[in-house]
Amino acid sequence: MDVELGEVQARFAELVWENEPVASGELVKLCERAFSWKKPTTYTVLRKLCEKGLFQNENGVVTSRVSREKFYAAKSEKFVEESFSGSLPAFIAAFVSRKSLSDEDAREIAEMIEAYRKGE
């Protein structure tokens, strides 16, 4: 998945993910309150994100075709691929050189690695 979102589209996507499934009329109201958008703006942004395959609007109900978690996982994978030639150890080394890991973070990472090894 290779979907890039600008700031406005990212904020809109977060609103949909937080409220889905959401009726398109309700989405218009949410966008008016959150972003001071008019109805045409909401539908324009929604249409563009539907064209990108992120959301769908069926029978007036907006839902995601890609979950927030899958979207950000794909985005993270692309970042590691492009910035660190796909090397997760190189990414982690760069990360911890600027920000220390708490004992809790280190434990969680170790648990994730162990679960991966076990095929969970």
> What is the tens place of the pLDDT at every residue in 3-43?
789 999 999 999 999 999 999 999 999 999 999 999 999 99
**Confidence at residue 1, expressed as pLDDT on a 0 to 100 scale:** 61
Domains of the chain with bracketed CATH: 7-68 (1.10.10.10), 87-120 (no CATH)
Average pLDDT, the chain: 93
Q: Cα dihedral sign for 78, 11, 16, 39? A: negative
| Beta-carbon-side half-sphere exposure of residue 110 (alpha carbons within 13 Å) | 7
Residue type present at position 58: E
For residue 114, name the pLDDT band (cuts at 50, 70, 90): very high
- For the cut 80, the answer to whether the pLDDT of residue 2 exceeds it is no
Find the mean pLDDT for residues 55-66: 97
What is the rounded distance in angstroms from the CA atom of residue 66 to the CA atom of residue 77?
15
